[in-house]
């Protein structure tokens, strides 16, 4: 098993969302995610981190699975109203067909076996349930930045692996619904909506690609 790349990052993990660019980015991501999420009673987030999304998603039953003990500790403290479980996406500690929705949000970049994680996510979905996956698009300017940081040994990007939408669709088939956001470059300056439109016109791929599968 790889060393936990989030061990020293957990407490400050959400701090970037409070910067001007981070606030713009997370608002765009939240809009896209909520456009994709179907109604239901139960949601499992695999790789739930510090619980940022679990805190904001309106499901009566919310379960967060997280392999990093540091992230899990912060998540439990910040979002105590959900059920937290230590574990890895490759071996979900749940019976078959237990959840209406399984969410993997920028998680596949850090797992050891992408195909196994996706198979496990589908195993625990109820019949007719939805798998929602968000990836950091491999062909976007943001992934290029993260690769450079990884090459310098910066965590958590050292050892991260990036997928394109084509890679994801090769594994799961065409999505029922998809969203793409954040076309601006990582070095963009405000006003960010205008920078985002400029990035779209330039042909940038969005930093985040989200899809929903059954």
Give the burial string for 84-106 (b: 16+ CB within 10 Å, else e).
beeebbbebebeeebbbbbbbbb
Give the pLDDT confidence score for residue 2 in this predicted structure: 58
What is the distance between the alpha carbons of residues 100 and 149, in angstroms, rounded to a whole number? Answer: 37
pLDDT attached to residue 190: 97
The per-residue pLDDT string of the chain (214 residues; one tens digit each, 9 = 90 and over) reads 456 777 777 677 788 899 999 999 999 999 999 999 999 999 999 999 999 999 999 899 999 999 999 999 999 999 999 999 999 999 999 999 999 999 999 999 999 999 999 999 999 999 999 999 999 999 999 999 999 999 999 999 999 999 999 999 999 999 999 999 999 999 999 999 999 999 999 999 999 999 999 9
Which pLDDT value is given to residue 3?
A: 67
At 1 the pLDDT is: 46
Query: pTM of the predicted model, to two decimals?
Result: 0.95
In the sheet with 177-181, reading across from the earlier edge strand, the strands are 83-86, 61-66, 42-46, 99-105, 125-136, 208-213, 177-181
Helices (H) then strands (E): counts for the chain: 6, 7
Determine contact, residues 140/109, Cβ cutoff 8 Å.
no
The separation between the first and the last C-alpha atoms of the chain, rounded to the nearest angstrom, is: 30
- The pLDDT assigned to 12 comes to 75
Q: What tokens were used for 165?
A: 């939408």
Q: How far is CA 92 from CA 25, 70, 123, 169, in A?
A: 30, 19, 9, 22
Question: Which class would CATH give 15-213?
Answer: alpha beta
| Distance in angstroms (rounded) separating the CA atoms of residues 95 and 102 | 13
pLDDT digit string (tens) for 98-139?
Answer: 999 999 999 999 999 999 999 999 999 999 999 999 999 999
The residue assigned the tokens 């939240």 is: 30
The tens digit of pLDDT for each residue in 131-148 reads: 999 999 999 999 999 999
The predicted structure's pLDDT at residue 11: 78
């Amino acid at each position: 098993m790889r060393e936990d790349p989030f061990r020293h990052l957990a407490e400050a993990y959400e701090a970037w969302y409070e910067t001007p660019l981070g606030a713009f980015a997370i608002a765009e991501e939240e809009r896209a995610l909520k456009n994709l999420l179907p109604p239901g009673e139960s949601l499992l987030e695999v790789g739930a981190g510090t619980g940022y999304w679990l805190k904001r998603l309106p499901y009566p039953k919310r379960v967060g699975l997280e392999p990093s003990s540091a992230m899990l500790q912060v998540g439990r403290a910040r979002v105590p109203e959900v059920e937290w479980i230590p574990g890895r996406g490759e071996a979900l500690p749940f019976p078959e067909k237990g959840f209406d929705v399984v969410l993997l949000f920028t998680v596949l970049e850090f797992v050891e076996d992408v195909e196994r994680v996706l198979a496990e996510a589908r195993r625990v979905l109820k019949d007719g349930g939805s798998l929602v996956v968000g990836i950091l698009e491999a062909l976007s300017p943001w992934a290029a930045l993260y690769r450079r940081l990884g090459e310098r040994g910066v965590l958590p990007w050292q050892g991260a692996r990036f997928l394109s939408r084509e890679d994801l669709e090769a594994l799961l088939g065409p999505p029922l619904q998809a969203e793409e956001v954040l076309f601006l470059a990582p070095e963009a300056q405000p006003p960010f909506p205008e920078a985002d439109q400029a990035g779209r016109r330039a042909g940038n791929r969005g930093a985040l690609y989200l899809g929903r599968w059954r």
